[in-house]
């Protein structure tokens, strides 16, 4: 018989063994659970790995595809970069020669830019311009005919000369060319297939914000210099090259003074003076030099000679056209004048705007960044009020730099009342403040010819006159035309 002590010992031993077995079972279950979680994590990681691997394979295929057919892009603002005169005058043949010369010149630049890769790259050229306005400008300079879109023969031949060359009519507003150039640049700026971009639009500081993110990227962007190259582009740290055999390096000159018959002599012999050709002033006269009417541009005056002198006479354009930045700064009233609540007018009673300097590139960049988030209300910030109760534009506070940029942009839009405007709240322009602007034989301008030759001498300061309610509503209705596109500026 077992003793009581032995029985107690066996009982304790059995209990300890049972606890140890239970602990071992729990440990085993925990290990099995961890192993199950490990398998699930493994399967999840394996699935992610397969997705990443598949994505990498697709990227490799895409990268290999982009390595094929590499090209360089040449972006040209045709309204500011004009082909050499002899190309334009030659019409269709000139278009072919211009395309070949541009191709050869860019090919030379590619060897200095891309080195050994240059031989593998094709050249894609996109020229955007207002065909109607450019044709008128060139017609007035005597480089092409006076019919509408007379440049078409040149551009069509230019397009046929090379497979990837296109001269595109971007509509009858300057913003059309700007919009096309910006979108084409953004599309190819970071493309591996596009190895380099040669940018020919440095006459317009509106493109400064487009190029600023690529400051110093000489491996991607090269600037092309021609007439009216703006000095602010030099601060971008990008290489600057010229194509003198392709583009004009000086602004276009107007036609030479035309010899016409003295009006007094004509009246004496024919009974009446020759009428002025209105079609020529619009740039659409189809008769050219054979027209029986006088070809005189708006603002051009006929000098008069005594009856006993030669009957031949020359017209001349007032020398006040094409005013420099320094001239405008010196002669226009200061910005502080508006704070006094008075309006400056000249001896003819025409309103004179205060001088509005061009904002810095940083100010324009800050304005564009704000406009992308929410377009500001022009009327509210510039005139101090907005008559549209359902206005969708931003009325919140803006910085001084954004205000200066907004004020400058809206000054580039002509006021419909022109020099007769007497509203102190009017924020549009009443004269052209674009330096060296020449509306006749120069670049297209929103302002009419009169706005370029106003007498800038202040004759008197007059109090403002309240506009009629219907005129105020009209201003409110178009108060956002200057910022309809954040990247679009008028210069």
pLDDT single digits (tens) 356-376: 888 887 788 888 888 888 888
CA angle 275, 279, 282 (to 5 degrees): 125
In this structure, what token pair is assigned to residue 152?
Answer: 């078409």
Match 């380099």 to its residue by tokens.
Answer: 196
pLDDT of residue 288 exceeding 60 = no
pLDDT band at 227 (very low <50, low <70, confident <90, very high): confident
- Spell out where 395-486 has E strands: 460-462
CA angle 233, 224, 253 (to 5 degrees): 95
Q: What is the predicted pLDDT for the residue at 117?
A: 84
C-alpha closest to that of 72 among 118, 127, 129, 128? 118
Domain boundaries, the chain: 67-242, 259-316, 325-483
Contact 10, 18 (CB under 8 A): no
Q: What is the predicted pLDDT for the residue at 258?
A: 38
* Percent with pLDDT over 70 in the chain: 77
| Euclidean distance between CA atoms 81 and 77, whole angstroms | 6
pLDDT of residue 315 exceeding 50 = no
| Euclidean distance between CA atoms 429 and 452, whole angstroms | 12
| Euclidean distance between CA atoms 34 and 455, whole angstroms | 91
* Other C-beta atoms lying within 10 Å of the C-beta of residue 477: 12
Span 306-332, average pLDDT: 55
C-alpha closest to that of 109 among 222, 211, 234, 193? 222
Span 380-402, average pLDDT: 83
Q: What is the predicted pLDDT for the residue at 481?
A: 46
| Euclidean distance between CA atoms 316 and 299, whole angstroms | 9
Strand-pair category, 351-352 with 343-345: antiparallel
The SS3 assignment for 378 reads helix
Longest CA pairwise span in the chain (Å): 166
Contact 399, 477 (CB under 8 A): no
H or E stretch covering 322: none
Helices (H), 141-259: 152-161, 174-188, 208-211
pLDDT of residue 303 exceeding 90 = no
CA angle 43, 48, 53 (to 5 degrees): 125
Count how many residues are written for the chain.
491
For 230-243, write each residue's pLDDT tens digit: 888 988 999 999 99
In this structure, what token pair is assigned to residue 291?
Answer: 């027209």
pLDDT band at 101 (very low <50, low <70, confident <90, very high): very high
Q: What is the predicted pLDDT for the residue at 326?
A: 78
What's the sign of the alpha-carbon dihedral 316, 321, 324, 328? positive
Helices (H), 127-282: 131-140, 152-161, 174-188, 208-211, 263-270, 278-282
- Spell out where 78-139 has E strands: 122-129
| Euclidean distance between CA atoms 315 and 295, whole angstroms | 10
Q: What is the predicted pLDDT for the residue at 285?
A: 59
* Other C-beta atoms lying within 10 Å of the C-beta of residue 15: 10
For 412-421, write each residue's pLDDT tens digit: 888 888 888 8
């Amino acid at each position: 018989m077992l003793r009581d002590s032995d029985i107690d010992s066996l009982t304790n031993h059995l209990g300890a063994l049972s606890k140890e077995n239970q602990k071992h079972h729990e440990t085993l279950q925990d290990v099995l659970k961890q192993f199950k979680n490990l398998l699930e994590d493994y399967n999840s990681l394996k699935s992610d790995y397969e997705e990443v691997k598949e994505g990498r394979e697709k990227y490799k295929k895409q990268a290999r595809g982009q390595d094929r057919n590499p090209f360089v892009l040449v972006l040209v603002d045709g309204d500011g970069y004009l082909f050499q005169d002899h190309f334009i005058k030659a019409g269709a043949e000139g278009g072919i020669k211009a395309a070949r010369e541009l191709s050869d010149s860019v090919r030379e630049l590619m060897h200095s830019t891309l080195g050994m890769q240059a031989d593998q790259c094709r050249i894609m050229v996109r020229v955007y311009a207002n065909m109607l306005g450019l044709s008128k400008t060139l017609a007035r300079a005597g480089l092409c005919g006076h019919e509408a879109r007379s440049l078409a023969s040149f551009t069509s031949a230019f397009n046929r000369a090379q497979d990837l060359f296109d001269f595109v009519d971007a509509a009858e507003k300057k913003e059309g060319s700007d919009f096309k150039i910006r979108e084409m640049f953004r599309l190819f700026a970071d493309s591996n297939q596009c190895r380099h971009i040669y940018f020919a639009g440095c006459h317009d500081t509106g493109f400064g914000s487009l190029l600023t993110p690529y400051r110093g990227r000489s491996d991607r962007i090269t600037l092309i210099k021609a007439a009216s190259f703006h000095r602010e582009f030099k601060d971008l740290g990008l290489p600057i090259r010229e194509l003198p055999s392709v583009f004009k390096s000086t602004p276009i000159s107007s036609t030479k003074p035309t010899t016409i018959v003295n009006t007094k002599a004509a009246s004496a012999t024919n009974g009446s003076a020759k009428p002025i050709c209105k079609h020529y002033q619009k740039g659409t006269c189809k008769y050219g030099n054979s027209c029986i009417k006088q070809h005189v541009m708006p603002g051009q005056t006929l000098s008069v000679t005594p009856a006993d002198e030669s009957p031949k006479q020359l017209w001349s354009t007032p020398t006040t056209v094409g005013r420099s930045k320094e001239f405008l700064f010196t002669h226009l009233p200061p910005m502080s004048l508006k704070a006094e609540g008075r309006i400056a007018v000249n001896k003819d009673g025409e309103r004179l705007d205060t001088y509005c300097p061009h904002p810095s590139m940083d100010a324009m960049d800050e304005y564009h960044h704000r406009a992308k988030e929410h377009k500001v209300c022009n009327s509210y910030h510039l005139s101090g009020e907005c008559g549209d109760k359902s206005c969708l534009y931003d009325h919140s506070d803006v910085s001084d730099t954004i205000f200066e940029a907004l004020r400058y942009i809206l000054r580039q839009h002509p006021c419909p009342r022109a020099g007769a405007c007497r509203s102190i709240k009017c924020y549009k322009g009443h004269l052209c403040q674009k330096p060296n602007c020449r509306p006749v034989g120069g670049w297209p301008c929103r302002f009419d010819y009169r706005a370029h030759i106003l007498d800038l001498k202040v004759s008197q300061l007059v109090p403002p006159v309240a506009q009629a309610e219907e005129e105020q509503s009209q201003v409110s209705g178009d108060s956002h035309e200057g910022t309809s596109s954040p990247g679009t500026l008028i210069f």
